[in-house]
Structure 1
């Protein structure tokens, strides 16, 4: 018995297990859509709350008769002491992440048995589990059911290799001061970071960090949302370090057709009137607008938002500023309304809640992006051909900044050196002053700034390379082909061995 793809050839069945945070669900959903569009059967594991967020994509995939199932498992909030409905870590404010973060991971681990039950009910059995790096419990599922498992990494391979080499060579053992710069070993460039900027993933959660690393080593291969023309040396370096094949099959955003993946609804429902947003951007000159957004898991205090607003106002260019739901309060709203009145509706567009970032970034009016350096946002900027103003907060973001600013040279840094951690963010004052924001915006958008023009040329060349990678015959397209074919062949050999 075989799974038949759109071309009639046997196709494998992939079970995708994202981590339940929007920055992880978005690329995994895109990846699932791409696999299904190539004829593979896909089961994407989610929960009711998270499925509701991507309902538009689910409905479009169904309308297109794609062989992808969105499997809603009950998330065990009550069993671990989580408030009911907390099925996505982004629902928690920064302070609540400190309080409930470990509970959330415990709940994720409890999905093991429901996932095993789902897989056991499938006939024929799935070909492979592809699980997010931060879902290490899936190795037990794979072992129990004797299935291969690939690690899905929503990070740059530059960051992955850098983190691995820092760990492998025990670099941090000799670093006493959090602010002391050290060189990352094993890279082709000389890249300096501090312990505060690169403490390792899940620093302070040693047991979880060790389990994640062990699961990474036990995986049968790695799937990465990147492309060879941008990261070839790091893809190869990471593959050699892990002694595994790394399938670079991105950037996923460029492979999803508008008929299935609506940029305006990517990841969640936008809170703004999309035609109105586009009309506002249409009224602006090309390369004149700065877009400022800081991902789903970072939260700014009012004092820092005020500095950002003042810096954008002083720079003199039209701007879009996203204020997340977790940042909203009566005081923030009073400030936002006052800023809009002061600057005027033609110069300021403030979005309160989920913004259609991929759609906004792709508009020709957007000429600069102030970003927290999450990998999804970085790729969205590259695929839109927009240079970045970098403001990392925590996690992998400082290493992503090094790739953007020092390796690819498509961004200007705001000079942030202090992580904005879950524990102390609510106590910190402004990290970046308005003058720094004004200067950075001017360096990319003002006339006469040659370095800004050079960055724009470089990022647009990368955009074209990304398009080539995802087009038929490109490196990422062919890597996806090889991935599907390998597991189709594995299925065939298994069937022959079992006499099916």
Structure 2
């Protein structure tokens, strides 16, 4: 019996409370719980447990939620704001971060009720307090950043070199020490190097410091996608890097259940797509938390219309809804345009053979979903690390075309920037991706091959499957060491 208790592992997963952070960790929870002698608990709040529960509610799957009451009203948030995308205004982002920090004491109050005792903590990068909790209970802590090794390596080299210091915002520079020549401007850098009003430098430095204290990092990617960058990043981290993705493939049979209940049924989407030729439909979605200026969204709609391609457009803006009605847009495109209000079953849509292009904000989850579905991309980065993701897709992988976005529009500061991309820019990028000439054929060929490799990576014997085994063995070895030394 003693040997069995040593072999059993209990992973405590603590995601950040935002869809782009929580969804891949829910996928990871399911993946881990399918392995022998592994139990998983996801730490979240009551409303998020309801939101993400359907994917994990499977017979015989040893995974559950530890639900912590969210102190929304204690910090001045409206009741029910338990996820970043539920905030009525970005101005409340710092209060939301304070409320998330308060979950530390709530977790520790019920830590001893967890059975079996946790073997490790897998924490989102942006929950630095979990480092102190891990130290308090003498547990190994693994970071989940949900980004690529390309992004991690760029961040490290930018931080160490400060190559952008003193440069004008629009002047290009080369990111040093990368396998490829990647040029950026200061205005395209993520928030760590390009401050926003909705975070603080102190918090970001605390994040960086606690990442360095972790025993390693789990990456939602697969090695073949970015092999040279994986190799270089492993050198930096002493080999403690585990690429176990694409995590979206781990819930392939639950495609329509990820995130929220979709505002349109999967069947309706499939029937609409079935009525259109293979490879000719454009799917346009700018993410779950992007807050694009309404006038800029109208230019997107006009660009989709002008492309003459059938399209699906996911809309979450009331002002744009009003324009759609008043301008006659929906009537004009009714035969070739499907408008989805709210949450869309994105994985189901992207995997349909009629989809020939994905217009995306370049969030990493969306990038991976596009890759897994063998779909070329029209890239329109908005904020955070999305310009780095665009560089990977367009320059390194060669599976995308940019609309021409030039600078980060920080979340919550959209009104400062107005309209920068015109409908003609959108149309031009769409037509280039959907082109049937030599470049278009080559781009689709690369996208198809990457999709096949992604699916092989998670199968038995694939690179991600092997890395998952190595991660579990690492935690098992550390727990054996603790039991013998303790």
Normalised-by-shorter TM-score class: over 0.9
8 Å CA contact retained: 1:116, 1:141: yes
Cross-structure match for 2:178: 187
| The one of 380, 387, 409 aligned to 2:376 | 387
Q: CA deviation at 1:65?
A: 1.5
1:109 matched to 2:101: yes
| The one of 380, 383, 401 aligned to 2:390 | 401
8 Å CA contact retained: 1:2, 1:124: no
Q: CA deviation at 1:77?
A: 0.9
What SS is found at the alignment partner of 2:312? strand
- Aligned in 2, Cα 1:144/1:410: closer, same or farther, shift over 3 Å? same
- Aligned in 2, Cα 1:421/1:200: closer, same or farther, shift over 3 Å? closer
Structure-2 separation of matches of 1:193 and 1:23: 24
- Aligned in 2, Cα 1:382/1:347: closer, same or farther, shift over 3 Å? same
8 Å CA contact retained: 1:80, 1:106: yes
Q: Where do residues 278-427 of structure 1 align in structure 2 (5 Å cutoff)?
A: 278-324=270-316, 327-329=317-319, 332-336=321-325, 338-344=328-334, 346-427=335-416
Q: CA deviation at 1:199?
A: 4.6
Indicate the larger mover: 408-417 or 79-88: 79-88
| The one of 202, 217, 220 aligned to 1:222 | 217
Cross-structure match for 1:455: 443
Q: Where do residues 252-271 of structure 1 align in structure 2 (5 Å cutoff)?
A: 252-258=247-253, 262-271=254-263
8 Å CA contact retained: 1:153, 1:224: yes
8 Å CA contact retained: 2:291, 2:411: no
> So what's the TM-score if we normalise by structure 1?
0.92
What SS is found at the alignment partner of 1:393? coil
What SS is found at the alignment partner of 1:317? coil
Structure-1 separation of matches of 2:471 and 2:145: 15
Q: CA deviation at 1:244?
A: 5.2
Cross-structure match for 1:232: 227
| The one of 457, 471, 482 aligned to 1:483 | 471
Q: How many residues align?
A: 480
| The one of 67, 75, 78 aligned to 1:80 | 75
Q: CA deviation at 1:472?
A: 0.1
Cross-structure match for 1:142: 134
Structure-1 separation of matches of 2:7 and 2:463: 23
8 Å CA contact retained: 1:302, 1:332: no
- Aligned in 2, Cα 1:2/1:106: closer, same or farther, shift over 3 Å? farther
8 Å CA contact retained: 1:336, 1:350: no
8 Å CA contact retained: 2:357, 2:377: yes
What SS is found at the alignment partner of 2:164? helix
Q: CA deviation at 1:219?
A: 0.6
Q: CA deviation at 1:445?
A: 1.8
Q: Which runs of 4+ in 1 moved over 4 A?
A: 1-5
Structure-2 separation of matches of 1:485 and 1:207: 35
8 Å CA contact retained: 2:43, 2:66: yes
8 Å CA contact retained: 2:108, 2:133: yes
Structure-2 separation of matches of 1:306 and 1:474: 43
